[in-house]
A and B are shown apart, each in its own frame.
Chain A
Amino acid sequence: MGSVLAASSPPPPGSGVVQGAPGLVSAPPGFSMPSVPPPSVPGQPAGETGSPLPNPGTYEECHRKCKEVFPIQMEGVRLVVNKGLSNHFQVSHTVTLSTLAESGYRFGATYVGTQQTGPAESFPVMVGDMDNTGSLNAQVIHQLTSAVRSKIAIQTQQHKFVNWQCDMEYRGDDFTSAVTLGNPDVLLGSGIIVAHYLQSISPALALGGELVYHRRPGEEGAVTSLMGRYTGNNYVATLTLGGAGAHATYYHRANDQLQLGVEFEGSMRTQETAVSFGYQLDLPKANLLFKGSVDSNWVVGAVLEKKLLPLPLSLALGAFLNQKKNKFQCGFNVTVG
């Protein structure tokens, strides 16, 4: 879930490293990860090339602003120690004690290269971590040209490769397209291809689509979905419609302290719908960040993050309560450095 430092300086929206996403690693706080300029709001000046329409960002980022408002479920105790060895290299040690998941130790390393493409962007970026059983998560992101970015991600479970994927992203003046190849296996003839396209229609409106094609011996299929995003002065509304269901998010920045998010998910396949409401209270003067959420499945959750200045220490307390199933879960994180 990250420290207060990461939360008070929100992670760059274009970063390919997202905390909590399966198969990907989280960037240690305080490290600059490749960022993507957020989509422009109406009235903002056009891009550098003089195009009247701004680049809309990537397809995955569209729901991210709302998702970041919600608290992340925590369980057990976690101690994270980050140590920067140089301007380009940082290591982290994570000890986890948990009753639901495996307890253990993880060692993480991050390298940021010397090819600087922007004030907060340097390439290549290599992030990896390994736990005490030998399971590895690794990611390499590199800017090949000014418009093309590539990423390779690998996940292993001990000695066995579980996930491996490669993606290429092309950023035009007013559009972004990306192709991801997941778990390709030439011998078996299996794999997954995901194609994204997002086009700015107006400075506020962006429309796009996603095509997922999967293949394995004896079976193949494709799923498509369409997406629309509207950006206002202090809000972002996004809607994704596909064969599997619908996903709508609304993000609203009420003021400097308060951000709100509402999310709707509906699946035709599982015949289930859910609505969640989340809010984030940011008080930098008090070194405090509070996130809360409540959803239609009677799950109430909250996370409190506090920087314990002048110590380089951050404390996070989280709790989730499922009223329907009578389940309670709480967690405690300490981050040093």
Chain B
Amino acid sequence: HLADTLIQRNLQEWISTACRFATDRNDFRRNLLVNLGLFAARVWVARNLSDFDLMSPQPIT
């Protein structure tokens, strides 16, 4: 019962922190995290785009 209470309290705290971040008027921090995530995603895309050949012959349909 004590463990359940602790887990519930931690979960509530985590949810309230996440809500506070989402509604925080400090847009710079939110934008920074979003843009860092976008940067990482685009680096991943760039590293995986290697099989691209515009001059390859078109497949016969």
User: Which A residues have a C-beta under 8 Å from some C-beta of B?
Assistant: 235, 248, 250, 252, 254-255, 257-258, 260-262, 264, 266, 271-275, 277, 281, 283, 285-286, 296
Contact = CB atoms under 8 A, between A and B. Distances in A.
A265 B49 CA distance: 23
Interface string B22-40: 0000011001101110110
Contacts of B60: none
Contact of A273 (B31, B42, B53, B55): B31
30 contacts: A250-B39, A250-B43, A250-B46, A252-B43, A254-B49, A254-B52, A255-B50, A255-B52, A255-B53, A257-B52, A257-B54, A257-B55, A260-B45, A260-B46, A262-B39, A262-B43, A264-B35, A266-B35, A273-B32, A273-B35, A275-B35, A275-B38, A275-B39, A277-B42, A277-B45, A277-B46, A281-B54, A283-B55, A285-B55, A296-B35
Given A266-B35, A275-B38, A277-B42, A252 B52 contact: no
B1 interface: no
A252 B46 contact: yes
Contact of B49 (A260, A266, A273): A260
Contacts of A261: 46
A271 B27 CA distance: 9
Given A254-B49, A260-B49, A271-B28, A296 B38 contact: yes
Q: A-side binding surface: helix, strand, loop or mixed?
A: strand
A266 B32 contact: yes
B33 to A, nearest CB: 9
B20 interface: no
A178 to B, nearest CB: 29
Given A235-B47, A273-B28, A273-B31, A248 B53 contact: no
Nearest to A237: B43
Nearest to A248: B39
B32 A257 contact: no
Nearest to B48: A254
Contacts of B49: 252, 254, 258, 260
Contacts of B43: 250, 252, 262
A252 B47 contact: yes
A291 to B, nearest CB: 14
A296 B27 CA distance: 14
Contacts of A286: 55
Given A255-B50, A271-B27, A273-B32, 13 more contacts: A252-B47, A252-B49, A254-B49, A255-B52, A255-B53, A257-B52, A257-B54, A258-B49, A260-B45, A260-B46, A273-B36, A274-B35, A283-B55
Contacts of B27: 271
B28 A262 contact: no
A34 B46 CA distance: 31
